[in-house]
Amino acid sequence: MAKVIAVTNQKGGVGKTTTCCSVCGELARLGYKVLAVDLDPQSNLSFSLGVEMDDDFTIYDVMKGNCEITDAIFHGEVCDVVPSNILLSGLELEMTGVGREYVLREQLSGVSKKYDYIILDTPPALSVLTINAYTASDELVIPMLCEILSLQGIAQLKQTIFAVKRYYNKSLCVRGILLNKYNPRYTLTQDVEDLAEDIAEQLGTTIFNTKISASVAIAEAPAHGESIITYSPKSKSAQEFKAFVKELIEPHKSGSQKKAGSDK
C-alpha cells in the first residue's frame, strides 16, 4: 500500500509545488513508484512535471465523479501524475453531497497498491480540496519560509489539522515542517525558526533537520518539465532535497515500505 503524503500550507508562495516536484523526482530516482496528484487549480505541479494538457480527464473530473482516477493518470517522464485545471477553483460550491470529504481517499484506495508513494500538492486555501487531501493522507509535510506571514499560515492551519484528525482521519500525522529558501545569515531566520519550533511542538512534530536554500536552478527547472533532481543534479538545492527525502522516508523503511529498485 502506498504511503500518502500531502504537502500543505495555507500561505501561498512557500514552496509547496517545488517541494512536491523535487520529492517526486528523488523518489523516482531511488526506484520508487510514485503518483503525484495536483490539487491546486493553478496546475503548477502538472506543468512542473511535464504534463501536456489536452482534453484529458483531470482531478476535477475525478472529484466530480465523471471518471475514475485511473482514467486521469498521465504517465510522465518523472512519475505518474493526476493533473489539475482551473475548474477546481469552483469545486467548493459544486461538491455539496454527504461524504464529500472522503472522495479522494476512496479514489486513491483503488490505485494505492500500484504505488509506493502518493504525493499530494494542496492549494493555498482551507477548502474542500484541502480537507480531502488531509482525509486521504498518512502524513503532512508543511513547507514554510522564514517569514512571519508564512508562520501565521501554519498557526491557522493547526485548527484544521486537529479538526480533520478528530472527525475524518484519526491516524493523520504531521511529519514535520520544512524550511524553504533558508538563509542562516538573516537575524529574522533564527527568530522565525524559534517560533516555528513552538508551533511544531503544538502540532506534535518537529522541524526537519534538512533546510532548503534559495536557488535559481529551482526556479528554472519547471520550464523544462523537470525536477531539480534531474535538471541540476549537482546543485546545492538538489543535494538538499536528496537529503530531505532520505530524512522523510527513513521511518518508512522499517515497515512494509520497500525500495523498488537500487540507487541510481
Residue the block writes with cell 524553504: 180
Q: Does residue 258 fall inside a structural domain?
A: no
Q: Does residue 254 fall inside a structural domain?
A: no
Q: Does residue 263 fall inside a structural domain?
A: no
Distance of CA 40 to the CA centre of its chain: 11
- Partners of 3 in the β-ladder: 117
Q: Does residue 156 fall inside a structural domain?
A: yes
Q: Does residue 257 fall inside a structural domain?
A: no
pLDDT bucket at 238, cuts 50 / 70 / 90: very high
Radius of gyration of the CA atoms of the chain, in A: 17
Query: pLDDT at residue 246 above 50?
Result: yes
- φ/ψ of 75, rounded to 5, equals -90, 95
Q: Tell me: the pLDDT tens digits for 120-152?
A: 999 988 889 999 999 999 999 999 887 877 777
Cα separation, 171 vs 165, whole angstroms: 7
Q: Are 168 and 99 in contact (CB under 8 A)?
A: no
- Of 254 and 206, which is predicted with more confidence? 206
Amino acid at the residue 106:
E
Q: In this structure, what DSSP letter does residue 95 have? A: -
How do 3-7 and 80-82 pair as beta strands?
unpaired
- Of 261 and 99, which is predicted with more confidence? 99
pLDDT number for residue 92: 83
Cα separation, 228 vs 114, whole angstroms: 25
CATH of the domain at 126: 3.40.50.300
Q: Tell me: the pLDDT tens digits for 34-87?
A: 999 999 999 999 999 989 877 789 999 999 999 999 999 999 989 999 999 999
Q: Does residue 255 fall inside a structural domain?
A: no
Cα separation, 59 vs 251, whole angstroms: 30
Mean pLDDT across the stretch 87-99?
87
Q: Does residue 253 fall inside a structural domain?
A: no
Q: Does residue 264 fall inside a structural domain?
A: no
Dihedral class, residue 31 (left if φ above 0, else alpha if ψ from -120 to 50, else beta) = left
Q: Which domain holds residue 196?
A: 3-248
Domain count, the chain: 1
Write the CB contacts of 24 (distance below 8 Å, at least 6 apart in sequence). Answer: 34, 36, 49, 78, 79, 119, 227
